[in-house]
Chains A and B, each alone.
Chain A
Amino acid sequence: MSEAQPIRPRAEQRYATELSMLAANDHFPRPGGWRLSPRAVRRFLLGDPKSGISRKFYGDDPLVDRAVVSLMSQQGLMLVGEPGTAKSLLSELLSAAICGTSALVVQGSAGTTEDHIRYGWNYALLLAEGPSERALVPSPVLNAMRSGRVVRFEEITRCPPEVQDALISILSEKALALPELGPDAVASAVPGFNVIATANLRDRGVHEMSSALKRRFNFETVHPIADPEFERELVLRQLAERLGPAGVTVSGERDVAEVLVRIFQDLRTGRTAEGASLNRPDAVMSTAEAVNVLHAAALEAVYLDDGKLSAAHVARQIQGVVLKDSPEDSKRLRAYVDHIVKERAGRSVVWKDFYQAARSLKFG
C-alpha cells in the first residue's frame, strides 16, 4: 500500500530540490549551525532565476535581509502584521532554509502553558523511574536548543503574557535549567538555535507583551502588498497553483483579478486610487483572502457556469469574506458599491458586471 501524501508538505519537503541545489553551490561562510550561508538563505526566499530558484516571498526584500541578519544575532525575530501577510510562510521558509526543518513549532493559544515552551513529563515513566532524561518530554523549544535549530512560535500573543515570559531566560542565557534532573542539570543551546515568533495585530497586539521579552526580539512588521499590479500578478499565480493540480482551467481571470485587487486595496487602505476616502471594513482584506475569493469564484465559474470567470462571480464570493467580522462591514461595503463601484461601472464592462451582481446581494 502506498503511503498517502500530506495535504500540505512542509517547506523543506516542497523545496527539497532547491535547498539541496543551494547547499551544493554555496561557497560563502555559514554561521555556526546553519545549513546554508545567509546569502543562500536570501536567494532561497527571494529567488534566483538563473539558478532555477523560485521566488517565495514578495513585497519587501530589505525585510528579508533584516530578518536573516537578526537570526544570526543573539536576538530572536518577531514578525508582526495584519493577518494574511505571509508571516507564517516567512517563518517557515526561514527555518527550513537555515536549519533544514520548519517542524519545530509551538502554536500559541490561550491554552499554551510553560510546559509547551520548556518541557513536560511522560507520567508513566516519571512514576516508575522518577525524574530522568528518559521520562522528560522536551518541548520544540528544548529540542531546537539541543540540536541547534530554529524553533517557530506561532501567534505568540495569543498566550498569556506570563507564559510568553518563559522565553526570556531561554533567549538571554541560551540555556534552560532542568532542576528535576539534578542541581546542575542545564540544557544549553548549541549554535544555530534561535526563535522566530509571529504575532497577529488584529487579535491581541504586542502591547501586552512584557518589555523584558520585547527587548530579546528584533521586530519586523510585514505589510500588505502596496503595488496593485504586483498583487494582481501574485493573486493570478496563486490561482493557477491552486487550479493546476485539479486540471481546471478558467478564462477571463486577468480582468477580474484586476477588479478584485483594486477593491481589496481600496478597502484595505480606506482610500481609492482616485483619492476618495471610505470607511475601512474590520474584516481582513489580505492578499491571501483575495486568492480565496478568486479561487472560489473560479470554481463557481467552472462547475456551476460556463467556465468564463466574471466579476459577478467575484461579487457573490466577496460577501463571504467581508461579512465575516461585523454587521457594520456590510454597510461599509454597501456604501463602497453605491458610490465608488457605481462610478466605475459607467466606464468599464468588468466593473459593471461587479456592480450589477453586488447590487442584487443582500448585505446584512
Chain B
Amino acid sequence: MENVPLHDAARGLWVVPIRHHSPACAAQLERLIAAVKPAGILVEGPCDFDPLIEQLCDPRTRAPVAIVSLRELAGGQATRRAASYFPFCEHSPELVALQAAAVRGVPARFIDLPSTSREMMFDEAGKPARSLLGDERSFDVGDYVAALARELGCRDGNEVWDTLFEARIADDRWQGFFTDVGRYCACIRAATEPARLEQDGTLAREAQMRAILAEVRGSVSGPIIAVVGGFHAAAVFEPTVSKAAGAKVGAGRPYLMRYGMRQLDALSGYGAGLPLPGFYDRLWRTRADGGKDLALTLITGFAEHLRSIGGIEAPSFPVIANAVEQAQRLAALRGRPFPARDDIVDAIRSSFIKDEIPVEQIPLLNELRSWLIGTAIGDVPPSAGSPPLVEAVRTQALSLGFTVADGERRNRELDIYRKPRHREASRFCHAMALIDAQFGQRTAGPDFRNDVSLDRLLEVWSICWSPLVEVRLIELSEAADTLAEALAFLVAQKLAALSEQGKGRSALAAIDLFSAACRAGVGSAASSILALVETQIIEDPQLVSVVAALTDLVLLRRGRDILGIAEVGPIDHLIGAAWRRVLLLLPGLAECGEEQIRESVSALADLRGLIELARSSEAPMEINLFDEALARLRGEPLTPMLAGAVTAFALIDGQGDAVVLGERLRGELASGYVDPGRRLAFLSGVIAIARELLWTVPEIIAALHDVVARADETAFYTLVPHLRLALMPLDPREVDRLAEEVATRVGGRPDQLATHIEISESELANNLRLDRQLADVMARDGVT
C-alpha cells in the first residue's frame, strides 16, 4: 500500500488523518500546527455547526461537550424530532484544531455535509443515526485488523491502535506518525466493500469536504490544514471538486451542550471513539512526560477509589507495588514504551484479585471499567442556546424560585398545604423526577401514597441543576417543547411498557405510575392508566395482590386533594371493581394448597388493615358484603392455620364467639399431630390476624394454660420451641402485656416478672470485642 500524501505543496494543503478522540493524534496535531503555522484550519464535522465554533472555543467551555443536532421529522412519527450528537473531549483532535485556530486568529470551518442531510441522518441500515462522527467499527472488526492483531500479538483492534499509535504520544516525529495513521486507515479502507462506501454516504461526504476545502483555498492565502478521519484522508486529497451542499433552512438546529464521559464511551454511548475515555483523558494529561507515570497514577488512583467506595477489598501496598511492576513488565514484553490500557487492566487483574475470575467477571473488574470510563461532565458558556424544552423548563424553574445558575446541591422546604406556589414547586419537582431528570430528591415530607409521615407539614427536597438535568432534557427534546408535553410523552411510554409486561403485580406498578403522575400535576393526562389498572385487577387470580392494589387505591383516594386528583369518580369505580374481586376471591382461600397457606393468611391480615382503612376514610366499599363472604369461607373445611385466621377475623368482625374459639384452640393444642408444630398452627393464624385477642379474649390464655399445666416435662419441652415460634410476631411491649396476664392468672405479681441482669463493664467490653470480631469474620466471608 502506497503512502497517503500528507502535504500538497502546490496547493499549500495539509490533510491530517486522525482517529476521533485519540490523544496521540491530538498531541501530534499540536506539534503539526506549531510547525506548519496554518492560515486556515478545516475540521471534519457538519458544516451547519460553523456558528457554534465560537462557543466551542470560548474559555468557559470545558469538555466533554457535544453538539446536538435536532432535526424536525415529518408528522406521523413517534417523536417530533430526531437528535444526533457530535461529541468532543479535551483530547479530541477536532477540538484541539479549532482551539488552535482561535488562538492563532485564523479562520476555522467544519467541512462535512450538513447534519440535516440524508447521509448524516441515517446509518447504513437506514435507521436514524445517533452519532455524527461516522462509523468507526472498521477499527475493531474486519479481516485486515484481525490479521494485524494476530501478527502483533494483540487481542483486538483497540490494542492494535494503542500499540501502533497511542504509544507514540510523546514521539515528536509528527510527520512519520501521521503518515502511518494515513497508511493504516487506507489499508482498512481497502478492505472495505466499495459498494458500502456509496451506500453509507461516505463518497457524498468526501465530495462535500473537497468542495468546502476548494472554497476556503480560494479565499485564504497561506497554508491550510484539514483535519479529517484517517478513512477519508486520501479521498479529500483528490482534486475533483463539485458544489458544496448547504443546510436546508428550517430542517433543524444544532446546540452546544454539556456531555459526559459515560456517554462518550464508545461501548456504551452513541459516539464513535475509543472505549474507556477516562483512561485516554489521563493519558492526554500526562502526555508531557510521555506516559512515564501513567501506570503508577492509574493503579494508585484506582486503589484510592476502591478505598473510598468501600464494599470491595482495597489492595495493600505490596499488591499495588506488584501491579505497577506488572504493568511496566507487560508493556516491555509487548514492546510498548509505556503501559497501555490493556497492560494496566491486565496488571490489576493479575495482582488485585486473589481468586477465581468467572467468565461473567467480578465486581472489581466492573468497577475498574466504570472508573476508567470516568464521570466528568463538561460545561458550556451561558450564551450557548438551548432547545425549546431546556429553555422552557429553566424558565419554569426560575419562576418557582429554583437556582439554575450553578450545579450546587441545595435543600428547599416546601409548605405544600398553605402556599399554592410551594405546591406548584412540589409538582414541578415531582414532574422532574418522573421524567428522570435527576433534578431533585425528596428527603422528607408526607407520603400520601404509602400512608407515611402524614403529620408533616413541609416537603423537603434536595435540589441540584446539574449538567445531567440538561442532558436529559435535550434527550427529551426529541419529543417535547414543554415540561407538560415531556410528561405526557413519558407517561404514555411507561404505560405502553406496562401494558406489554405480564399481569401479576403490574396493577401495583400502574397505580404507582398514576400516583406519580398525579403528584406531578398531570393526573388527568394519565387517567387512561386507570383503565389498565381495572383490566389487571379483574383478571388477577391472587387475593394478596388484589388486596395490595385496593389498599393503594384507598390511600390514593384519601390523599386526593393534595395529589391534585380533581375527579374522584374513576377511582371510586376502580375501588368498587377491586372490592368485588376481593369478595369473589375470598371463599376460594379454602382451596389453597399447603404451600400457599402463609401467603393466604398474610392476605387476610392485609385485608383486615384495608377494612379499617376503608372505614376511617369512607371509601365506597360495602363492608356488609364482606361479612357474607367471610361466613361462606368459615363454612368451608380449612387447614388449622387458616381456620385460626378466619375464626379470629370473624370474632373481631362481630360474627364469632370467643368460647368457640377457645374450645377449638384447646382441641388443636391437645391434638395428635405427628409434628408438634402443627398443634400451634391455629394459634399462629389467630395471632397473624389479631394478636390483641391474646389479652382481650381470656379463653385463649385459659386454653393455653390448661394445656401447659397438664403437660409433663417431656411434653412441655417438645411444645416450648413451637410455642415460642408462634408468639414471635409479638413485640416486646406485647410480650410484657401477655406475661402480666399469665402471671395474674397463676397468682403471681407482674412486678416479679422482670429480672435485672447485671453485667460488668469488662464483660461488656469483651462481648463487644467478640461481636466486632464476628462481624469482621462475617464481612470477610461475604455474609451479611
Contact = CB atoms under 8 A, between A and B. Distances in A.
A319 interface: no
Given A73-B325, A218-B326, A61 B356 contact: no
B351 interface: yes
Given A61-B155, A218-B322, A206 B333 contact: no
Contacts of B358: 221
A81 B357 CA distance: 9
A62 B155 contact: yes
Given A46-B153, A75-B322, A218-B322, A38 B333 contact: yes
A65 B334 contact: yes
A219 B347 CA distance: 11
Interface in A207-223: 207, 211, 214-215, 217-221, 223
Interface string B313-327: 000101100100110
A73 B322 contact: yes
Given A61-B155, A66-B350, A219 B333 contact: no
Interface string A63-100: 00110111011110000110000000000000000000
Contacts of B355: 80, 206-207, 214, 219
Given A38-B333, A62-B155, A73-B329, A215 B356 contact: no
A56 B136 CA distance: 34
A66 B347 CA distance: 7
Contacts of B350: 66, 69-70, 218-220
Contact of A223 (B316, B335, B346, B359): B359
A283 B322 CA distance: 37
Nearest to B335: A39
Interface string A143-186: 00000000000000000000000000000000000000000000
B251 to A, nearest CB: 42
B333 A39 contact: yes
B419 interface: no
B342 interface: yes
B322 A69 contact: no
A66 B153 contact: no
A80 B353 CA distance: 12
A343 B349 CA distance: 41
A42 interface: yes
Nearest to B781: A207
Interface string A18-44: 000000000000000000001100100
Contacts, number: 71
Contacts of A70: 326, 350
A61 B357 contact: no
B418 interface: no
Contacts of B329: 38, 69, 72-73
A74 B325 CA distance: 10
B326 A69 contact: yes
Interface string A174-210: 0000000000000000000000000001000111000
A220 B351 CA distance: 9
Nearest to B331: A69
Contacts of A69: 326, 329-330, 333, 350
Nearest to B153: A61
Interface string B344-386: 0011011101111111000000000000000000000000000
A35 B694 CA distance: 84
B508 to A, nearest CB: 28
Nearest to A42: B333
* Residue with the highest number of chain A CB atoms closer than 10 Å, among B316, B350, B355: B350
A65 B346 contact: yes
Nearest to B342: A62
Contacts of B333: 38-39, 42, 65, 68-69
Contacts of B335: 39
A66 B155 contact: no
Q: Categorize the interface residue count of chain A.
A: 20 to 34
A226 B358 CA distance: 13
A303 to B, nearest CB: 39
Nearest to A31: B329
Contact of B330 (A46, A65, A205, A206): A65
B354 A217 contact: yes
Interface string B300-323: 000000000000000010110010
Contact of A66 (B316, B330, B332, B354): B330
B360 to A, nearest CB: 11
B322 A211 contact: no
Interface string B559-578: 00000000000000000000
Contacts of B155: 61-62
A219 B322 contact: no
Given A46-B153, A68-B333, A69-B333, A62 B346 contact: yes
Nearest to B343: A65
A214 B325 contact: no
B349 A66 contact: yes
A226 B359 CA distance: 10
Contacts of A218: 322, 326, 350-351
B326 A205 contact: no
A283 to B, nearest CB: 19
Interface in B32-48: none
A215 B315 CA distance: 10
A305 B285 CA distance: 70
Nearest to A218: B350
Contacts of A38: 329, 332-333
Contacts of B356: 80-81, 201, 205-206, 219, 221
Contacts of B347: 66
Contacts of A205: 356
Interface in B265-323: 316, 318-319, 322
Nearest to A172: B318
Contacts of A80: 355-356
Nearest to B328: A69
A269 to B, nearest CB: 8
Interface in B623-638: none
Nearest to B150: A61
Contacts of B349: 66
A85 B357 CA distance: 14
* Residue with the highest number of chain B CB atoms closer than 10 Å, among A65, A68, A70: A65
Contacts of B319: 215
Contact of B153 (A42, A215, A221): A42
Contacts of A74: 322
A62 B163 CA distance: 14
A70 B325 CA distance: 9
A69 B359 CA distance: 22
Contacts of A66: 326, 330, 346-347, 349-350
Nearest to B313: A211
Interface string B97-134: 00000000000000000000000000000000000000
A287 to B, nearest CB: 15
A219 B353 contact: yes
Nearest to A38: B333
A218 B350 CA distance: 5
A65 B349 CA distance: 12
A219 B330 contact: no
A2 B325 CA distance: 50
Nearest to A215: B354
A148 to B, nearest CB: 19
A66 B357 CA distance: 14
B617 to A, nearest CB: 47
Contacts of A223: 359
Contacts of A42: 153, 333
B332 to A, nearest CB: 8
Given A66-B326, A211-B354, 16 more contacts: A39-B335, A42-B333, A61-B155, A62-B155, A66-B330, A66-B346, A69-B333, A69-B350, A70-B350, A75-B351, A80-B356, A201-B356, A215-B354, A219-B350, A219-B357, A221-B356
The 6 closest A-B CB pairs, nearest first, are: A214-B354, A221-B357, A69-B329, A218-B350, A66-B350, A38-B333
7 contacts: A38-B333, A42-B153, A62-B155, A66-B350, A70-B326, A201-B356, A219-B356
